[in-house]
Amino acid sequence: MEHHRQESSGPSSSAGSSVTAKGRKGRRHQAQKRAFQNDTTAKKETPPTPIAKPEELIPKTALEIIDNKGQKLWKIPAEAQPLPQDGMVAQVHFKSWLVADKEKKIIDSSSSSDSTAGQVGQQPFEFVIGKGQVSRAIDEGVKTMRNGEKAQFIYRRSEEASGSVNASLAAKDMDKDKEGQKNEELVCTEVELVNILDQPGKPEVCVKKGSPGMVMKEMIEIQEDGTTMDGNVIVFVTLTGYHHGKVFFPRATLPFNPKDNSWGSNKADRIFPATLPNAIKSMRNGEKALVSLSGSSAMRVALEDKPQKIHVPVGAPIRFLVEIEEVDKLIDPKTVALGPSMDSCVDLLQKGNTYKDQGHADAALSKFVRAEELMQNQSFFGAQLLLYATLKDLADLHGKTDKMDRNRALSICNKAIGMENSLPFPADKVSCKIHMRRGIIRMEQRKYTLAKRDFEKALLLAVEGEEEDLASEALILLSAASQHVGTRRSGFNWLDD
């Protein structure tokens, strides 16, 4: 029996050991399961990390700016220095990135290579402030900066100016998968204001990025208290044009309208560069500057003067000596009292005749035309005489400026002669000159019989007024007209009128 018990003890011990091993394995599995469940529960109970609102990414030190459109712009300020203004030419380095992008990937910059933007040797980007040539952030932001300052501007992408440099390049580089979120994203543009070039005593360079043309202005004389070209004004500018040291445009005073960049001369409007007025408009009364132009900013048409051996091709480098003679505020005849209106007309006639005597017919024409407008509807004593004298001065410019052609001068003479009977008292000297001027125009038209009648009338007025010089001149003209009339009649062709 003992032997039997010994044999039976073996299997019983083996089974107990197997049960114990299974129990340990089961308990280990249960522990792992509970640990996994606890870990999963803990993860579910952990609150998600809140997503920062766009405004929360803006540093607290940033200065909020509201532009003229009511849109916000945030600036990280630097130390204060003098502020630039609209119309000045700014040189800047800039680069832009998304505020939410921790890597600050450049989406736009002033350099062709984003990695070299703002580095030494890189040419800065140049633009005219306030003209919309760049993004709103740069255009508005630069006006709050100072020379040499570097600042960062944060703005909403949806408020970016369309078509600007920044917007066009950034739109190209943006991730198209984020098209729906693009308008809510914040962009940071870092701007370094390298220089403001439109400052007294410094050359001003007006050149667009990638443009082959250039305008450079170097101030010679500065008048800080001089009248600016703001408002409704006519500016009288004396210009002398140079090409390779030779004068291709002789010194002349011309009227200039800053509002539409037009000159009171057909020749000037035809040949002058469109970029020249922009350099002039920032000047003041009494100032003098040397303006250099080249490339696409130079002459519109080629000029050639064989006797003077001058040839100025299109795009050739040229220079203009610019002198601001007068910034004349325009007067509305309807708002001026009678006395001041008369004084203004006399002043215009005096200045006009001064310009005429100096040989500046276009400037004189501008003065006389304004005097005529001022006297046109005035009814006070002497107004008719002033208008009559003004018309005579206008007619005298016939042949001296391309703005006063034959037909216009003849029309003015006819208007003046039609006023003779309504004058408060005779003006023999003025009437004599008007009839002589109309006779000369009719001689050019080969209307010799009508010209002869005008000269006869002029001679009569000169004799009555005891104007010997005018009488001699009228007699010479009458003799010339009579010879033509006699020649035409002898050839049986005297019905020319």
- Domains of the chain as residue ranges with CATH: 54-196 (3.10.50.40), 200-330 (3.10.50.40)
The beta strands (E) that lie in 67-105 are given as: 72-76, 89-98
- Determine what percent of the chain is predicted with pLDDT higher than 90: 13
The answer to whether the beta carbons of residues 212 and 314 sit under 8 Å apart is no
Mean pLDDT of 64-93: 71
Task: Count CB neighbours of 347 within 10 A.
Answer: 12
Q: Tens digits of per-residue pLDDT, 347-397?
A: 888 888 898 888 888 888 888 888 888 777 666 667 788 888 888 888 988
Model confidence at 127: pLDDT above 50: yes
Supply angle C-alpha 174, 176, 182, rounded to 5: 65
Residue 497 has pLDDT above 60, yes or no: no
Residue 272 has, within 13 A of its CA and on its CB side, a CA count of 24
Question: What confidence tens digit (pLDDT) does each residue in 286-320 have?
Answer: 998 888 887 666 777 777 777 767 788 877 788 88
DSSP structure class, residue 90: E
pLDDT reading at 232 higher than 60: yes
Selection from 83, 86, 374 nearest residue 230 by Cα: 86
Give CA–CA dist 436/470, Å, rounded.
9
C-beta atoms surrounding 85 within 10 Å: 12
Report CA torsion sign: 237, 397, 262, 248. negative
Q: What is the pLDDT of residues 161-196, one digit of tens each?
A: 433 444 334 444 444 434 444 456 888 888 888 877
CA dist 101 and 105 (Å) reads 7
First to last CA, the chain: 171
Give the pLDDT mean for 128-133.
74
User: Torsions phi, psi of 122, nearest 5?
Assistant: -80, 135
Radius of gyration of the chain (CA): 42
Residue 413 has pLDDT above 90, yes or no: yes
Q: What is the dihedral of CA 394, 397, 403, 408, to 10 degrees?
A: 60
pTM for this predicted structure: 0.51
Q: Residues, the chain, total? A: 497
User: Per-residue b/e over 366-390, b at no fewer than 16 CB within 10 Å?
Assistant: bbbbbbbbbbeebeeeebbbbbbbb
Average pLDDT (270-285) is: 84
Please give the structure tokens belonging to residue 89. 């030419």
**Tokens for 491?**
């050839």
Supply the DSSP symbol for 250. Answer: E
Q: Evaluate whether 243 touches 264 at the Cβ level (below 8 Å).
A: no
Taking the C-alpha atoms of residue 126 and residue 295, their distance in angstroms, rounded to an integer, is 17
Taking the CA atoms of residue 150, residue 151, residue 152 and residue 155 in that order, the dihedral angle to the nearest 10 degrees is -130
Coil, strand or helix at 423? coil
Q: Report whether pLDDT(425) > 90.
A: no
Backbone angles phi, psi at 442, to 5 degrees: -70, -30
Q: What count of other Cβ atoms lies within 10 Å of the Cβ of residue 392?
A: 21
Whether residue 78 is predicted with pLDDT greater than 60 in this model: the reply is: no
* Amino acid, res. 1: M
